[in-house]
Amino acid sequence: MVINSKSRNELRALIESALLLAIGFVLSYFRFGIPWVQGGSVTPFSMLPIMVIGLRHGLKWGLGSGFVYACLQMLQQFYPPPTATVDGYIAVVLLDYILAFTVLGLSGLFRGKKYGLLFAAPLCLTLRFLCHFISGIVVWGIYAEDIPVWLYSLTYNGSYMAPELVLLIILGAVLCSTAPFLFTVSDKKDADDDKNTPDDDTP
């Protein structure tokens, strides 16, 4: 059976995505800093493997992997809303998990760019922050007490998302300079192999 370059690329993307998802999930268990009682934590570089999937294989694989990662995060540790209502649970699932982690796959917009990670990191983490920020207002605002709810959400979510972004940009700058091959996939070999592969009807 002859496997063409498209099938090979899809198989490679599937295997790499599974491995990088596993790496990201394991890294998310390493948490630093103070405990955030309503969820959130500094997990250095745990989002990098998910963004690498998008940078290497594009938007489709990036968003799909981000969605899977979001489901894994819910299984790892789910924070129920303070008001146990259907609307509250829906808001938490969508804003704090599904949307917040799926947006990491938007790194696929920068596929093939030399310093794509340095553009992807601010975009993806800012969008993730916005998801948590909105959730902090509409779901977790009950904990704001004497301060404006928007300020509470800004400081609470910014206190762990800002360090994540800084650490990721620093690592991204190092990796883009020293190991840019981590963020790209070369299709040259596959193209050459296809040229040397005989057609099925070749006698």
What pLDDT band is residue 188 in, cutting at 50, 70 and 90? low
> Helix, strand, coil: what percent of the chain each, to 5?
70, 0, 30
Q: Which tens digits make up the pLDDT trace of 17-63? A: 999 999 999 999 888 766 555 667 788 789 999 999 999 999 999 99
pLDDT over 50 (residue 202) = no
The CATH fold assigned to 5-34+45-186 is: Arp2/3 complex 21 kDa subunit ARPC3 (1.10.1760)
Q: Which tens digits make up the pLDDT trace of 11-21? A: 999 999 999 99
Q: What is the pTM of this model?
A: 0.85
What the block records as the tokens of 108 is: 């696929």
Q: Which tens digits make up the pLDDT trace of 130-176? A: 999 999 999 998 888 889 999 999 999 998 999 999 999 999 999 99
Residues 6+ apart with CB under 8 A from 104: 47, 50, 51, 54, 62, 66, 69, 124, 128
Rounded-to-integer distance, Cα 184 and Cα 181, Å:
5
